[in-house]
């Protein structure tokens, strides 16, 4: 029995490692000067799971490297930018994927988080994969309106699985769901 439990633990740890988030590209809006850019950089530097922040002042883009093995909370990124007095205009995240084929309006667990693919297109995702988070606090109001209209599922408005739970999502009914596009 112990051998079976140990084997299951090894498999679960391996699955989590395969879906590690390694980096992100965040674009902030509302910045007007280099001091604004510095305020956002300082706020992002204070997020525990961020290892490094590189800034492109001209494009207002922040390239973030995440600490290996740490949980990445995308809402914490948005909160850090908002606490600095600005907002997120876009967030592109990079994950190491292992042959996942999302379909439109499918919830997929990546690591310990759930993602709702709004445009899966049955494309197999493997290796280093980049996708955009398109929830309300990660895009402009215009883009949010466009992407939220791309589905009839209620979780796009609530951010919770309970709003559109399927049998496989039932265990995650109160879990945060990020809405993404490839």
Most confident stretch, 43-47, 113-117, 126-130, 149-153: 43-47
Domain chopping of the chain, boundaries:
19-181
The pLDDT assigned to 173 comes to 60
**pTM of the predicted protein model:** 0.80
Pairwise CA distance, residues 177 & 23, whole Å:
19
113 CA to centre of own chain: 8
The pLDDT assigned to 90 comes to 96
For 21-25, 100-104, 134-138, which range has the lowest pLDDT when averaged over its residues? 100-104
43-70 mean pLDDT? 94
Domain 19-181 has CATH 3.30.70.100: yes
Q: Pick the closest to residue 141 from 50, 46, 29 (CA basis).
A: 29
């Amino acid at each position: 029995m112990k051998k079976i439990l140990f084997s299951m633990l090894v498999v679960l740890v391996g699955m989590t490692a395969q879906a590690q988030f390694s980096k992100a590209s965040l674009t902030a809006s509302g910045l007007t000067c280099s001091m604004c850019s510095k305020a956002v950089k300082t706020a992002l530097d204070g997020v525990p799971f961020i290892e490094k922040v590189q800034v492109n002042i001209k494009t207002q883009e922040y390239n973030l490297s995440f600490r290996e093995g740490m949980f990445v909370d995308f809402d914490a990124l948005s909160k850090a930018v908002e606490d600095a007095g600005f907002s997120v205009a876009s967030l592109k995240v990079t994950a190491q994927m292992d042959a996942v084929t999302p379909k439109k309006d499918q919830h997929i667990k990546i690591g310990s988080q759930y993602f709702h693919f709004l445009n899966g297109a049955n494309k197999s995702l493997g290796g280093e994969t980049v996708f955009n988070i398109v929830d309300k606090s990660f895009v402009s109001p215009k883009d949010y309106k466009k992407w939220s209209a791309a589905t009839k599922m209620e979780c796009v408005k609530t951010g919770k699985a309970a709003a559109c739970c399927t049998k496989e999502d039932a265990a995650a009914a109160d879990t945060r769901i990020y809405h993404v596009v490839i």
